[in-house]
Amino acid sequence: MKAHLSRRYLFSASHRLHSDGMSDAENRDTYGKCNNPFGHGHNYVLEVTVSGRVDEKTGMVCNLADLDAFIEKEVLTRYDHENLNCLRDFAHHVPTTENLCMRIYEIVKRGFGLAHLDKVRLEETMMNSFEYAGAAEPQR
């Protein structure tokens, strides 16, 4: 029997949306107020969804304590109360929430092997959220 588990986490971070490959005018036109030179912050809601067989002994897809410890160590300590523009993860990428969502997916996919990672959802505001479920498999 396969089941899905979704777990939510909160963290705060700031960023400035700005691409070095565009002029200042293009950046202002593209990113609007999010191109503010002083940046701005968000209180993000991260939702991680994993799936797998329900263990007959424990009755769980995976141990929540294991998932929580992994997310705390590998995601929250990396991004919470940070300026995303200053992090190596975004040295060559604009720290949009889309890119942050994909980066978090990669971290969890690579490091958490106790259940299958289905998707990562990142809520930036009550009006904006982004989901990433990995690169699409090539069609045959």
Q: Which of 18, 42, 62, 124 is catalytic?
A: 124
Task: Provide the edge-to-edge strand list for the sheet that holds 40-53.
Answer: 82-83, 2-15, 40-53, 116-123, 129-132
> Which residue among 26, 72, 81, 86 is the active-site one?
81
Whether 34 sits among the annotated catalytic residues: the reply is: yes
Catalytic annotation, pick one of 34, 47, 93, 131: 34
**Contacts for 12 with CB less than 8 Å, ≥ 6 apart:** 41, 42, 43, 44, 80, 81
The tokens for 94 are: 């604009």
| Catalytic (active site) residue 124 | yes
Based on the residue annotation, tell me whether 81 is a catalytic residue of this protein.
Answer: yes
Tokens 């289905």 — which residue? Answer: 118
Contacts of 68 (CB under 8 A, 6+ apart): 7
The Cα–Cα gap between 84 and 17 comes to: 10
d(CA 35, CA 85): 12
Mind telling me the catalytic residues? 34, 81, 124
